[in-house]
Amino acid sequence: MEDLFSNIDLDPIASPVGLIVIGLGIRLVLGAVKTAIKLALVVMILVGLYLFFYGGNVV
């Protein structure tokens, strides 16, 4: 079993596929962060509208 692992060469060579996967991962993370910020802004606007029109209470 050790012979199998000793024959594997693990040189740190950047493969094009690995770089593409890393790039896609970073893009997805940034997209998720942007979406979360947009949702937070929409919620803030809705709360502001509620406070403006109803004064914080619906009676």
Tell me the per-residue pLDDT of 21-53, one tens digit each, with 9 for 90 and over.
899 999 999 999 999 999 999 999 999 998 888
Assigned domain for 29 exists: yes
Write down the pLDDT at residue 53: 86
Name every residue whose Cβ is closer than 8 Å to that of residue 50 and which is 6 or more positions away in sequence: 56
For residue 6, tell me if it sits in a domain: no
pLDDT for res 31: 95
Per the structure, the count of domains in the chain is 1
Domain assignment of residue 37, yes or no: yes
Residue 25 lies in a domain: yes
Transcribe the chain into DSSP letters: -HHHHHT--------HHHHHHHHHHHHHHHHHHHHHHHHHHHHHHHHHHHHHHHTT---
Domain containing residue 52: 18-59
The whole-number pLDDT of residue 55 equals 80
> 26 or 9: which carries more pLDDT confidence?
26
Q: Does some domain include residue 5?
A: no
Predicted confidence at residue 38, as pLDDT, reads: 97
